[in-house]
Amino acid sequence: MRRIHLPIQESELLSLRAFDQVLLSGKLYVGRDQVHSRLFDLLENKQELPLALQGQAIYYMGPSPAPPGFPLGACGPTTSARMDPFAPRLLDEGLRVMVGKGPRSAAVVSSIIQNRALYLQAYGGCGALYASKIQKVETVAFAELGPEALLVMEVENFPVIVAIDSNGTSVFTR
């Protein structure tokens, strides 16, 4: 089990291989379809982003309301393929780690290789476990989107596996 502090250092990123088990700690951004679409549009219109993407990690999930005493409710991964139209551009802008579930398109895999990035698989059905790994949550941008706003979480020992490494080796192919 590898322990990685976010934002990830390039040497750590390049050392990870498909099937490696990882515990993430540090700053993990959260964004789904709406956030990706808005970030993409900002880039296309040469406008400033609400976060610096360089070296950052983003988790594809939809949070549920926080129960008393917790910063967030269950927060399992969502299907990553919905972000595929936007992912290559965000990777080109410096995003280095994507966390979600399910396979990615050939274009995303190619961009992962080109940009020396990672795709990490979160475990489906483990939303309550993931909620227990969150220390703090803040809204970064697009608050009007409610649960689909751009968030940043402080996580500790957030379990994932490397699904596609920086060489393009994938758990989805044999």
Q: Which residues are catalytic?
A: 36
State how far the Cα of 61 lies from the Cα of 93, in Å rounded to an integer. 21
State how far the Cα of 99 lies from the Cα of 137, in Å rounded to an integer. 17
Beta strands in 9-164 (DSSP E): 21-30, 57-59, 97-100, 118-122, 134-141, 150-164
Backbone angles phi, psi at 158, to 5 degrees: -85, 110
The residue assigned the tokens 């949070």 is 63
Task: Mark 137-160 as b/e (b = at least 16 C-beta within 10 Å).
Answer: beebbbeebeebbbbbbbbeebbb
Task: Mark 108-117 as b/e (b = at least 16 C-beta within 10 Å).
Answer: bbebbeebeb
| Contact criterion met (CB below 8 Å) for 106 and 113 | no
